[in-house]
């Protein structure tokens, strides 16, 4: 078991560079299946989930190569690289359970495989333990497009001699369902309208890549996406949108530690609500030509947060919001409206001395000026990052265990933390 040993008491100061979004890059890799030939993706984060998705594609018959970028000037890590995906004329239609169970995003190959091959056999996915995230909307949408979908022996098996455009209403603006259905619809016959679609920047990024491949899509970034099917698509070169969740993590960390951080490549428009909350907490937020500067001089004020689909406060930043409230003045109410399991990590934060009470999908957090170091367990990607930030406000060395989760979402996390002044070591413990 790998662990982070974080020494408290250091503000985040300096510059960090944000690479492409994990939640976009994985779906762009899946979209490459829609066109035979070489697709090149730039600004792909060098993280474990990209390795897993690369292997998913290899077992579907693709050749996948990751070319890491050289170090930035001054020797700081870039955090990303370029992915080359060579897609065969006839890829396999079946994914392996041992890979798909490790990462939920692997379900995103379902739509492209059905659209391109007329059949797909995809293992039911795993991923973070943050609550129920059923595939009902994926299945119902594909069935509306004319596919037959069955669940057998742990696999979703979808068949469709030819997908046909239709109108689809999503009960919830699910990012994953929107992505899968749009990727399926681009090769369907006729026009597909997806209503109550997700509006996240990662959805817009996927649609832009698909349009560059030759798809006809309108309405990306709105609640109604219209897709006019085409006969075929072509491979492209495309650059991934910057990761707003990683950018938000650094921004909240700067406020928690009373630091001063320039977050290069961050897009303020993708974090409007989160940055407004930091301003309410007392921070200075300054948009730059290619990023944003976040600075904090005094102890932050407690602010209430409600997670919602984009453009609301991101659920992926909720653990950091709880950690921020735990060291702020006053009392804050954090409300989770997206994933009911997001509060699982709170017990670990309490081990650090935080005063948090859970009531259903609400957390009441009474701030304390300092926390106390203790061993804690990362329960998912964002919880792990939130615990590391909390460790920066403790009176000693905090050991964050099982950091393989953090590796799935944050490239060069230790190196980047060191680059902005943090004392942190990666160690191994018996599993």
Tokens, residue 85 = 């995906």
> Where would I find the H helices in 333-380?
346-351
User: C-alpha angle with apex 48: 47 to 50, nearest 5 degrees?
Assistant: 70
Q: Does the annotation count 359 as an active-site position?
A: no
The CATH class that applies to domain 24-239 reads alpha beta
**pLDDT in the model for residue 127:** 46
The DSSP 8-state label assigned to residue 161 in this structure reads: S
Which of 46, 128, 205, 407 is an active site residue? 128
Alpha helices in 42-174, H assignment, sequence order: 48-59, 97-100, 110-117, 136-144
Task: Examine domains 2-15+243-428 and 24-239 and report if their fold is the same.
Answer: yes
CB 267 within 8 A of CB 275: no
Mapped onto helix, strand or coil, the DSSP state of residue 394 is: strand
Q: Which long-range contacts (CB under 8 A, 24 or more apart) does 374-377 make?
A: 374/398, 374/399, 375/351, 375/399, 375/401, 376/348, 376/349, 376/351, 376/352, 376/400, 376/401, 377/348, 377/401, 377/402
Q: Where are the domains of the chain?
A: 2-15+243-428, 24-239
Phi, psi of 320, deg, nearest 5: -70, -35
In the numeric block, the tokens 């899968």 are attached to 180
Of 273, 288, 168, the residue nearest 219 (C-alpha): 168
Are residues 221 and 182 in contact, defined by beta-carbon separation less than 8 angstroms?
no
The pLDDT profile of the chain, 431 residues, written as one tens digit per residue, is 899 999 999 999 999 999 999 999 999 999 999 999 999 999 999 998 899 999 999 999 999 999 998 876 665 566 789 999 999 999 999 887 777 777 777 889 999 999 999 999 988 775 444 344 568 899 999 999 999 999 888 788 999 989 999 999 999 999 999 999 999 999 999 999 999 999 999 999 999 999 999 999 999 999 999 999 999 999 999 999 999 999 999 999 999 999 999 999 999 999 999 999 999 999 999 999 999 999 999 999 999 999 999 999 999 999 999 999 999 999 999 999 987 777 888 999 999 999 999 998 999 999 999 999 999 999 889 999 999 999 999 999 999 999 988 988 999 999 999 999 999 999 988 76
74 contacts: CB under 8 Å, gap ≥ 6: none
pTM of this structure: 0.93
Task: Identify the CATH number of the domain defined by range 2-15+243-428.
Answer: 3.65.10.10
């Amino acid at each position: 078991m790998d662990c982070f040993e974080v020494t408290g008491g250091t503000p985040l100061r300096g510059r960090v560079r944000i690479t492409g979004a994990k939640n976009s890059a994985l779906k762009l890799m899946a979209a490459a299946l829609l066109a035979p030939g070489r697709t090149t993706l730039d600004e792909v984060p060098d993280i474990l989930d990209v390795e897993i998705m690369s292997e998913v594609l290899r077992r579907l018959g693709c050749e996948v190569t990751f070319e890491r970028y050289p170090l930035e000037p001054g020797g700081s890590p870039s955090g990303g690289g370029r992915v080359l995906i060579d897609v065969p004329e006839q890829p396999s239609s079946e994914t392996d359970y041992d890979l798909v169970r490790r990462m939920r995003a692997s379900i995103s190959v379902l739509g492209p495989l059905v659209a391109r091959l007329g059949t797909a056999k995809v293992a039911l996915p795993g991923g973070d333990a943050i609550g129920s995230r059923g595939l009902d909307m994926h299945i119902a949408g594909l069935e509306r497009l004319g596919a037959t979908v069955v669940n057998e022996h742990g696999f979703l098996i979808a068949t469709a001699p030819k997908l046909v455009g239709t109108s689809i209403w999503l009960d919830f603006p699910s990012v994953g369902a929107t992505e899968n259905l749009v990727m399926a619809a681009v090769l369907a016959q006729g026009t597909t309208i997806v209503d109550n679609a997700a509006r996240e920047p990662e959805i817009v990024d996927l649609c832009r890549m698909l349009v560059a491949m030759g798809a006809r899509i309108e309405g990306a970034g709105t609640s109604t996406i219209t897709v006019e099917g085409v006969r075929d698509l072509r491979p492209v070169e495309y650059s991934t949108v910057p990761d707003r969740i990683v950018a938000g993590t650094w921004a909240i960390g700067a406020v928690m530690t009373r630091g001063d951080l320039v977050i290069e490549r961050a897009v303020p428009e993708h974090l409007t609500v989160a940055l407004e909350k930091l301003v309410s907490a007392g921070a200075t937020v300054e948009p730059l030509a290619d990023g944003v500067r976040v600075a904090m001089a005094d102890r932050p004020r407690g602010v209430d947060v409600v997670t919602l689909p984009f453009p609301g406060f991101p659920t992926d930043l909720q653990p950091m919001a709880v950690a921020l409230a735990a060291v702020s003045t006053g009392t804050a109410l954090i409300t989770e409206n997206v994933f009911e399991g997001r509060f699982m990590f709170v017990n670990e934060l309490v081990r650090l001395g935080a005063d948090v009470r859970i009531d259903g999908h609400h957390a009441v957090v009474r701030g304390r000026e300092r926390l106390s170091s203790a061993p804690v367990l990362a329960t998912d990607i964002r919880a792990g990052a939130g615990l590391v930030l909390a460790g920066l406000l403790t009176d000693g060395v905090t050991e964050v265990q099982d950091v393989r989760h953090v590796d799935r979402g944050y490239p060069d996390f230790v190196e980047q933390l060191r680059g902005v002044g943090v004392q942190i070591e990666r160690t191994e413990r018996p599993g």
